[in-house]
Amino acid sequence: MLMSLLPKPRHVLVAATLAVAGCASAPDNFPPPCPNLALLTDAGDLTRFAGTGRDVTDLALAARISAIGAKCARDGKSAVKATINVVADVARGPAFVGRVVDIPYFIAVTEAGQIIDKRNFIAHVEFPSNVSRVPFMGPEIDLSVAVTPEKNASAYKIFVGFSLTPDEVAYNRRTGG
Protein backbone atom coordinates (compact mmCIF):
# COMPACT_ATOMS: atom_id res chain seq x y z
CA MET A 1 0.00 0.00 0.00
CA LEU A 2 1.31 3.44 -0.86
CA MET A 3 0.57 4.72 2.63
CA SER A 4 3.83 3.06 3.71
CA LEU A 5 5.35 6.54 3.78
CA LEU A 6 3.42 7.12 7.01
CA PRO A 7 3.52 5.20 10.27
CA LYS A 8 0.65 2.74 10.57
CA PRO A 9 -0.85 2.97 14.03
CA ARG A 10 -3.20 0.16 14.89
CA HIS A 11 -5.67 2.64 16.33
CA VAL A 12 -6.07 6.35 15.90
CA LEU A 13 -5.40 8.00 19.21
CA VAL A 14 -8.57 9.61 20.46
CA ALA A 15 -7.97 11.61 23.59
CA ALA A 16 -11.15 12.78 25.21
CA THR A 17 -11.83 13.96 28.70
CA LEU A 18 -14.72 11.84 29.92
CA ALA A 19 -16.41 12.16 33.28
CA VAL A 20 -18.48 9.35 34.74
CA ALA A 21 -20.82 11.57 36.71
CA GLY A 22 -23.92 12.98 35.00
CA CYS A 23 -23.92 16.62 33.97
CA ALA A 24 -26.91 17.69 36.06
CA SER A 25 -25.81 16.29 39.41
CA ALA A 26 -22.04 16.71 39.12
CA PRO A 27 -20.35 19.41 41.17
CA ASP A 28 -19.19 22.33 39.02
CA ASN A 29 -15.52 21.49 39.55
CA PHE A 30 -15.77 18.27 37.49
CA PRO A 31 -15.63 18.51 33.70
CA PRO A 32 -18.82 17.40 31.95
CA PRO A 33 -18.86 14.38 29.64
CA CYS A 34 -17.62 15.10 26.12
CA PRO A 35 -19.39 14.07 22.95
CA ASN A 36 -18.09 10.77 21.58
CA LEU A 37 -15.25 11.22 19.06
CA ALA A 38 -14.81 9.15 15.92
CA LEU A 39 -12.60 9.12 12.87
CA LEU A 40 -14.74 8.60 9.78
CA THR A 41 -13.24 5.32 8.59
CA ASP A 42 -13.12 6.02 4.85
CA ALA A 43 -11.86 9.58 5.37
CA GLY A 44 -8.95 9.05 7.79
CA ASP A 45 -6.38 8.72 5.02
CA LEU A 46 -5.70 10.87 1.98
CA THR A 47 -3.68 9.59 -0.97
CA ARG A 48 -3.18 11.77 -4.04
CA PHE A 49 -1.47 10.82 -7.27
CA ALA A 50 -0.09 12.90 -10.12
CA GLY A 51 -1.79 11.90 -13.37
CA THR A 52 -3.59 8.61 -13.91
CA GLY A 53 -0.84 6.26 -12.72
CA ARG A 54 -1.09 4.51 -9.36
CA ASP A 55 2.53 3.44 -9.03
CA VAL A 56 4.63 4.62 -6.09
CA THR A 57 6.43 6.96 -8.49
CA ASP A 58 3.06 8.65 -9.20
CA LEU A 59 2.41 9.35 -5.50
CA ALA A 60 2.12 13.07 -4.83
CA LEU A 61 0.77 13.15 -1.28
CA ALA A 62 -0.13 10.80 1.57
CA ALA A 63 -1.73 12.00 4.78
CA ARG A 64 -3.21 10.26 7.81
CA ILE A 65 -5.16 11.66 10.74
CA SER A 66 -3.14 10.38 13.67
CA ALA A 67 -4.90 11.90 16.68
CA ILE A 68 -8.06 13.69 17.69
CA GLY A 69 -7.99 15.47 21.02
CA ALA A 70 -10.90 16.92 22.95
CA LYS A 71 -11.54 18.66 26.21
CA CYS A 72 -14.91 19.77 27.47
CA ALA A 73 -16.19 22.48 29.77
CA ARG A 74 -19.57 23.82 30.75
CA ASP A 75 -20.82 26.64 28.55
CA GLY A 76 -23.54 28.00 30.81
CA LYS A 77 -26.21 25.71 32.23
CA SER A 78 -27.60 24.49 28.92
CA ALA A 79 -24.49 23.75 26.81
CA VAL A 80 -21.12 22.02 26.81
CA LYS A 81 -18.21 23.46 24.86
CA ALA A 82 -15.98 20.82 23.26
CA THR A 83 -12.54 22.00 22.14
CA ILE A 84 -11.22 19.71 19.38
CA ASN A 85 -7.68 19.32 17.98
CA VAL A 86 -6.88 17.35 14.84
CA VAL A 87 -3.35 16.02 14.28
CA ALA A 88 -2.17 14.51 11.00
CA ASP A 89 1.02 13.13 9.48
CA VAL A 90 1.62 14.42 5.95
CA ALA A 91 4.17 13.02 3.48
CA ARG A 92 5.02 14.18 0.00
CA GLY A 93 5.78 11.57 -2.59
CA PRO A 94 8.10 11.52 -5.61
CA ALA A 95 5.48 13.22 -7.84
CA PHE A 96 4.82 16.14 -5.46
CA VAL A 97 5.48 19.54 -7.03
CA GLY A 98 6.35 22.51 -4.82
CA ARG A 99 6.64 22.77 -1.06
CA VAL A 100 3.13 23.81 0.02
CA VAL A 101 -0.20 21.99 0.02
CA ASP A 102 -3.64 22.77 1.41
CA ILE A 103 -5.55 19.72 2.64
CA PRO A 104 -9.28 20.04 3.37
CA TYR A 105 -10.74 18.34 6.44
CA PHE A 106 -13.98 18.53 8.39
CA ILE A 107 -15.47 18.18 11.83
CA ALA A 108 -19.15 17.18 12.02
CA VAL A 109 -21.43 16.91 15.05
CA THR A 110 -24.26 14.38 14.92
CA GLU A 111 -27.18 13.60 17.16
CA ALA A 112 -29.19 10.40 16.67
CA GLY A 113 -27.42 9.83 13.35
CA GLN A 114 -28.28 13.28 11.92
CA ILE A 115 -25.65 15.93 11.15
CA ILE A 116 -26.46 19.03 13.20
CA ASP A 117 -23.24 20.97 12.57
CA LYS A 118 -20.44 20.49 10.04
CA ARG A 119 -17.44 22.74 9.63
CA ASN A 120 -14.79 22.62 6.91
CA PHE A 121 -11.16 23.55 7.49
CA ILE A 122 -7.93 23.71 5.52
CA ALA A 123 -4.67 22.22 6.77
CA HIS A 124 -1.99 24.48 5.29
CA VAL A 125 1.16 22.35 5.19
CA GLU A 126 4.60 23.55 4.16
CA PHE A 127 7.51 21.18 3.64
CA PRO A 128 10.97 22.55 4.48
CA SER A 129 13.77 21.85 2.00
CA ASN A 130 14.83 18.20 1.94
CA VAL A 131 12.00 17.14 4.26
CA SER A 132 9.40 14.72 2.96
CA ARG A 133 7.25 14.23 6.08
CA VAL A 134 5.79 16.82 8.44
CA PRO A 135 3.24 16.75 11.23
CA PHE A 136 0.19 18.99 11.13
CA MET A 137 -1.57 20.14 14.28
CA GLY A 138 -4.77 22.01 13.60
CA PRO A 139 -6.01 24.95 15.63
CA GLU A 140 -8.29 24.39 18.59
CA ILE A 141 -11.87 24.29 17.32
CA ASP A 142 -14.68 25.12 19.75
CA LEU A 143 -18.04 23.40 19.31
CA SER A 144 -21.04 23.86 21.57
CA VAL A 145 -23.73 21.23 22.13
CA ALA A 146 -27.00 21.67 23.99
CA VAL A 147 -27.49 19.69 27.19
CA THR A 148 -30.36 19.18 29.60
CA PRO A 149 -30.68 17.27 32.87
CA GLU A 150 -31.94 14.35 30.75
CA LYS A 151 -29.34 14.58 27.94
CA ASN A 152 -25.65 15.16 28.47
CA ALA A 153 -22.98 15.78 25.81
CA SER A 154 -22.32 12.06 25.31
CA ALA A 155 -25.62 11.97 23.35
CA TYR A 156 -23.66 13.59 20.49
CA LYS A 157 -20.97 12.15 18.25
CA ILE A 158 -18.21 14.18 16.61
CA PHE A 159 -16.75 12.83 13.36
CA VAL A 160 -13.46 13.98 11.87
CA GLY A 161 -12.05 13.21 8.43
CA PHE A 162 -10.39 14.53 5.31
CA SER A 163 -12.69 16.04 2.67
CA LEU A 164 -12.08 13.56 -0.14
CA THR A 165 -13.09 13.28 -3.76
CA PRO A 166 -15.16 10.24 -4.78
CA ASP A 167 -12.01 8.71 -6.35
CA GLU A 168 -10.05 9.19 -3.11
CA VAL A 169 -12.82 7.52 -1.09
CA ALA A 170 -12.91 4.62 -3.58
CA TYR A 171 -9.12 4.27 -3.29
CA ASN A 172 -9.37 4.09 0.53
CA ARG A 173 -12.08 1.44 0.30
CA ARG A 174 -10.04 -0.63 -2.17
CA THR A 175 -6.82 -0.46 -0.19
CA GLY A 176 -8.21 -0.45 3.34
CA GLY A 177 -6.71 3.02 3.88
The DSSP annotation for 75-86 comes to: -SSSEEEEEEEE
Enter the pTM of the model.
Answer: 0.81
What would the pLDDT profile of 146-162 be if each residue is shown by its tens digit? 999 899 999 999 999 99
Distance CA 133, CA 94 (A): 12
Strand 45-49 with 59-74, pairing: antiparallel
| Domain with 39 in it | 2-175
**Domain total for the chain?**
1
pLDDT at 18: 34
Query: For residue range 8-34, what is the model confidence (pLDDT) as tens digits?
Result: 443 444 433 333 333 344 445 667 889
Which residues touch 63 (CB under 8 Å, ≥6 apart)? Answer: 6, 45, 46, 47, 88, 89, 90, 91, 103, 123, 136, 162
Angle at 74 between CA 72 and CA 76, to 5 degrees: 150
Distance CA 150, CA 141 (A): 26
